[in-house]
Amino acid sequence: MSVRTDAASYVADLRANGVACRRGSRTIVSGVDVTIPAGTRMAVVGPNGAGKTTLLRVLAGLETPATGAVYVGGADLHAMRARQRARTVAVVAQEEQPSAELTVAEAVGLGRTPHRNPWAAGADAEREIVADALEMVGLGDAGGRSCIALSGGERHRVVLARALAQQTPMLVLDEPTNHLDAAWRLRLMRILDKLDRTIVAAMHDLDLVLRHFDSVAVIADGRLVTHGPPVEVLDNRVLRDVFAVDGDIITHPRTGRPHLLLTDATPSPPPGRTLT
């Protein structure tokens, strides 16, 4: 596999300053200040309905914040023209599907649209980028197949390949492990590990977050509770307060890597009493 698919023209940091998002009169997300250094991966975690997707849409430039701003490489994301934004951030939405009428290669080729000029040559280079992206997601032989004939997990990988082919310095992924089987969840994490890009991903699997992300932002009720390295942030207090579970970080006996074991939260004893 060549490295073309990861040939983003530059890596950029992301800075969100005082981001808030409203739906009608309701504030869904508020007061989010976060910086993601260039080339690092940040997971966004929180219970269902906490505001992760809403925040990601703003960080991806799909939605304008009610207040605050988002800067990628120092440039205001929401002030960019659509083509420049599409050259800056690639997005995979939560339940995104490739168009049923397209072949797999055509669907992935859509990722090249923001880079194409009407007079551009280099169709071979474009085909190579698409082929590399398909190879990365294990669909190297599927370019000519119709998207409608794929499984749910395969379709999801097509959408991921399109985002890789877009060759942007930033990737925003909303629950990227959705629809993927156990082996592919791990393979996807290894792909993300190797990409020299700034990545923001909403994640529900806290164990994967522990090993594969540089930082984690915990969201509850639309507010940023804490942000920092996963081994520090995913402690028992945060797990209890935000997710109502207990967690223990243990070392895998074979790999030596940390794993997070989650269990039902044990009830706290009333003051002055111990549970037996």
Ligand X SMILES: Nc1ncnc2c1ncn2[C@@H]1O[C@H](COP(=O)(O)OP(=O)(O)OP(=O)(O)O)[C@@H](O)[C@H]1O
Residues lying near ligand X in the complex (CB under 6 A): 23, 28, 46, 48-54
Cα 111 off chain centre by:
17
Give the number of other Cβ atoms within 10 Å of residue 179's Cβ: 17
Tokens of 24: 């009608």
Query: Based on CB atoms, which residue is closest to ligand X, 27 or 84?
Result: 27
Q: Considering beta carbons, is residue 92 or 161 the nearer one to ligand X?
A: 92
Q: How far is the CB of 215 from ligand X (least distance, A)?
A: 18
User: Minimal distance in Å, beta carbon 53 to ligand X?
Assistant: 3
What distance in Å separates the CA atoms of residue 30 and residue 149, rounded to the nearest whole number?
42
Q: How many CB atoms lie within 10 A of CB 100?
A: 12
Alpha-carbon dihedral sign for residues 79, 225, 37, 177: negative
- Nearest distance in Å: CB 275, ligand X: 32
Minimum CB separation of residue 29 from ligand X in Å reads 7
Considering only CA atoms, which of 191, 170, 184 is closest in space to residue 40? 170
Residue 96: CB partners within 8 Å, gap ≥ 6? 156, 159
Q: Which of 147/219 has CB closer to ligand X?
A: 219
* Closer to ligand X by Cβ: residue 12 or 70: 70
Query: In angstroms, what is the minimal distance from the CB of 23 to ligand X?
Result: 4
Return the number of the residue (48 or 255) whose C-beta is nearest ligand X: 48
Q: What value, to the nearest 5°, has the Cα angle with vertex 53 and ends 85 and 224?
A: 100
